[in-house]
Amino acid sequence: MKRELLFLITCLLFLVIIKVYTLIFSRRKKNRIKLFFFFSAVLVAFLFNINLGKLNINLFSLPCGILAGSLFFLLSLFITTSNFKGSFQFIRESCKNILLFIKSNLFLSLRRFFTSFIEEMFWRVLLINLLSKNILKDKVITAILVSICFTLDHFPQKRRKTIFREWFDLFIFSLNVSVLYILTRDIILISVIHFLRNINIDMYLFGSFTSTKVNKRDKRPFAIVKKILYKLKEEECL
């Protein structure tokens, strides 16, 4: 118990240090630094036999993840754009073309899935289990606290008019995924949901439902960008 608590405190402390460091010194490399930390924390937890609970995987993980991921991103679009009709049209076009997009951007898609899997292993599997067993003893409060931390970690650094909607969207997404993990303990399910969100954001940001590859030089953050929003409206996608 003491070992798990010490490990949890160490992880949270390092997370705060990395967040401060990337905000001040290295914003461009912040995703790589955080991903390396998440991977290292999960690896250390396994190597030192930190009890992270039982993980479930079943035949319905993939189809349920695809369905839930599409519905969650529909909710995200509605929260950030207040346009349900346009959001539904985007999801409909996304479902038709997502396989083509993944095939045309295979390396990007593999990177997105790896990132989603590692993040879910850290935020959901590691933090939820350690917090609920060592500090809070309540899974509902744990899910809310982890969702707040997740939101703050992904919080947009540049202030925009949509910043409060984005904050609320991130919190709701994380809370939904946290609750699903607590109920199912299914790492594949929540990883697929997270992966679909990231891929849909790629298509949304770059206005691409086709095989057009993402411009690697475009370093804009994953958020609602006016220029792309207007472009999608012109294409009658939104």
For residue 64, is it within any domain? yes
* 36 CB neighbour count, 10 Å cutoff: 13
Nearest to 230 by CA among 212, 208, 207, 209: 207
Domain holding 170, by residue range, is 57-234
Q: What does the pLDDT read at residue 26?
A: 56
Q: Give the Cα separation of 74 and 71 in Å (integer).
A: 5
Q: In the chain, what's the furthest Cα-to-Cα distance?
A: 58
For residue 83, is it within any domain? yes
Domains: count for the chain: 1
Least reliable range by pLDDT among 11-20, 60-69, 107-116, 179-188: 11-20
Question: Is residue 223 exposed (0-12), middle (13-18) or buried (19+ Cβ within 10 Å)?
Answer: buried
Top pLDDT among 222 and 103 is at 103
For residue 160, is it within any domain? yes
Q: Give the Cα separation of 208 and 21 in Å (integer).
A: 34
How do residues 85-142 score in pLDDT, each as one tens digit?
888 888 888 888 888 888 888 888 898 999 999 999 999 999 998 888 777 778 889 9
For residue 145, is it within any domain? yes
Nearest to 34 by CA among 20, 45, 47: 20
For residue 147, is it within any domain? yes
Question: Is residue 1 exposed (0-12), middle (13-18) or buried (19+ Cβ within 10 Å)?
Answer: exposed
Q: What does the pLDDT read at residue 148?
A: 92
Least reliable range by pLDDT among 20-24, 60-64, 72-76, 169-173: 20-24
Confidence band, pLDDT 50/70/90 cuts, at residue 222? very low
Half-sphere exposure of 109 (CA within 13 A, CB side): 15
Please say if the pLDDT value at position 184 is more than 50: yes
For residue 66, is it within any domain? yes
How do residues 143-156 score in pLDDT, each as one tens digit?
999 999 898 887 65
Q: Give the Cα separation of 100 and 117 in Å (integer).
A: 22
Sign of the torsion formed by the C-alpha atoms of 68, 71, 75 and 77: positive
Predicted structure pTM score? 0.82
Q: What does the pLDDT read at residue 230?
A: 43
Q: Give the Cα separation of 236 and 213 in Å (integer).
A: 21
For residue 159, is it within any domain? yes
98 CB-near residues (< 8 Å, 6+ apart): 196, 199, 200, 203
Top pLDDT among 9 and 51 is at 9
44 CB-near residues (< 8 Å, 6+ apart): 7, 50
For residue 221, is it within any domain? yes
Please say if the pLDDT value at position 216 is more than 50: no
